[in-house]
């Protein structure tokens, strides 16, 4: 996938598919950073390059992770991330979900000023309509 991607989904199988798409640009993952701010909320930045290992803001993995390993890691975080109380809507239901973002190789994803970030994953409630 050599292009911009912003997908809202739920479930581990769908997370695997998102990494399949992003994997055309990034096949190895070196570290992550979790950020929470008012504008974009809670997000995990996942790094495709380890050339910035001097940064104190990034938690570097003790080994390079492949797609399966990073998917398991992110899925574990998504299941436990605090996204607030489940919204109530009488016409449907909500389940834990996520937003998965990636951009053209080397470009910065909106809300992230670092070109070494491969993907940004945001935990959020996923709505199922009637």
pLDDT bucket at 65, cuts 50 / 70 / 90:
very high
For position 24, what pLDDT does the model report? Answer: 67
Residues 3-34 pLDDT 10s:
678 899 999 999 999 988 887 667 789 999 99
Residues 80-98 pLDDT 10s:
998 888 887 667 688 889 9
- Cα angle 64-67-73, degrees, rounded to a multiple of 5: 75
| Tokens representing residue 65 in the block | 């992770």
Q: What pTM value is reported for the model? A: 0.85
> Is residue 36's pLDDT more than 80?
yes
Quote the percentage of the chain above a pLDDT of 90. 35
Name beta bridge partners: 92: 129
Contacts of 65 (CB under 8 A, 6+ apart): 28, 29, 30, 73
The CA-atom distances, in angstroms, between 32 and each of 60, 63, 90, 92, 95 are 7, 12, 37, 34, 25
pLDDT bucket at 40, cuts 50 / 70 / 90:
confident
């Amino acid at each position: 996938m050599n292009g911009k991607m912003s997908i809202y989904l739920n479930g581990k199988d769908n997370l695997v598919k998102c990494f399949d798409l992003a994997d055309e640009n990034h096949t190895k993952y070196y570290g992550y950073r979790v950020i929470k701010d008012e504008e974009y909320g809670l997000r995990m930045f996942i790094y495709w390059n380890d050339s910035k290992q001097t940064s104190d803001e990034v938690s570097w993995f003790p080994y390079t992770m492949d797609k399966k390993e990073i998917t398991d890691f992110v899925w574990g975080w998504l299941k436990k991330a605090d996204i607030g109380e489940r919204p109530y809507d009488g016409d449907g239901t909500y389940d834990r979900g996520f937003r998965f973002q990636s951009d053209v190789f080397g470009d910065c994803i909106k809300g992230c000023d670092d070109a070494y970030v491969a993907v940004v994953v945001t935990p959020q409630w996923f709505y199922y309509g009637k």
